[in-house]
Each structure stands twice: as structure tokens, then as C-alpha cells.
């Protein structure tokens, strides 16, 4: 298993600004992922964070809006850029050995955009 921490745990941001969320895993993991849960919706995969290279984004998500870094096997960041109220969500990172195997989740970042 893996223990995952995220910061910040919550934030309230103004429209048009950007927020960077950090995710730290307590052990080296093969894969790290970023998810979003909008109010009343299911957890949706944003992208797979690849170590040392560009993230792989799912349909509907683009690098300009959600730039992701993964400089090593235990750390990743997600930036929510040029925020609008529609970006108000819970953002979670997770880690696992492959895309469909067991995943361990962080506690999430609750973002409110005003």
C-alpha cells in the first residue's frame, strides 16, 4: 500500500487566478493520477502523471488548463489555471502500479472558486 498526502487540503480562490496542488507519496510508485469530482458528479480521471515527461490527458482535459508535473517517482503537482467557478471541485491524486489495478488515494483538495 501507499500513503498519499496532498496540500492544500482546501482553498478559496478568485476567478482568473491559478492554484497548484501538491501530491506526495511515501514510496516509489509506477503510476500517479489526478482526478476531479465536481459537485454531484463522479470522480473523473483528468490525466496520468508521467515521470520526466508530459502527462497523458483524458478527453476533455488539456495541458493549458491543467498543467501537471512529475519530477520523480514520489511527487506530482497539478495546476488549475485561469480558474472559473466551474472549476470548484474536489481534486484527488492517486497512485498505483497500473491504470486498472488497485489505486491509493490522497485526501483530496477542496477548491472553491468565487
Partner 1 sequence: ILNVEQSPQSLHVQEGDSTNFTCSFPSSNFYALHWYRWETAKSPEALFVMTLNGDEKKKGRISATLNTKEGYSYLYIKGSQPEDSATYLCASADGNQFYFGTGTSLTVIP
108 binds partner 1 (CB under 8 A): yes
Within the chain, strands assigned E span 4-7, 10-13, 19-25, 31-37, 44-49, 56-57, 68-72, 75-80, 89-96, 103-105, 109-113
Site string for partner 1, 35-54 (x = CB under 8 A): -----xxxxxx---------
* Residues 4/95, Cβ–Cβ less than 8 Å: yes
Segment contacting partner 1 by CB under 8 A, of 11-19, 68-76, 78-86, 105-113? 105-113
Is residue 104 involved in binding partner 1 (CB under 8 A)? yes
Residue ranges binding partner 1 (CB under 8 A)? 4, 9, 40-45, 58-59, 92, 99-108
Amino acid at each position: 500500500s501507499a500513503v498519499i498526502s496532498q496540500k492544500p487540503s482546501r482553498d478559496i480562490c478568485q476567478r482568473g487566478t491559478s492554484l497548484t496542488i501538491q501530491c506526495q507519496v511515501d514510496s516509489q510508485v509506477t503510476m500517479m493520477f489526478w482526478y476531479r469530482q465536481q459537485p454531484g458528479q463522479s470522480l473523473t480521471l483528468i490525466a496520468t502523471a508521467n515521470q520526466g515527461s508530459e502527462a497523458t490527458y483524458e478527453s476533455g482535459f488539456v495541458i493549458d488548463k491543467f498543467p501537471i508535473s512529475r519530477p520523480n517517482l514520489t511527487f506530482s503537482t497539478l495546476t488549475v489555471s485561469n480558474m472559473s467557478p466551474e472549476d470548484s471541485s474536489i481534486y484527488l491524486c492517486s497512485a498505483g502500479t497500473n491504470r486498472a489495478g488497485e489505486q491509493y488515494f490522497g485526501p483530496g483538495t477542496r477548491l472553491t472558486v468565487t
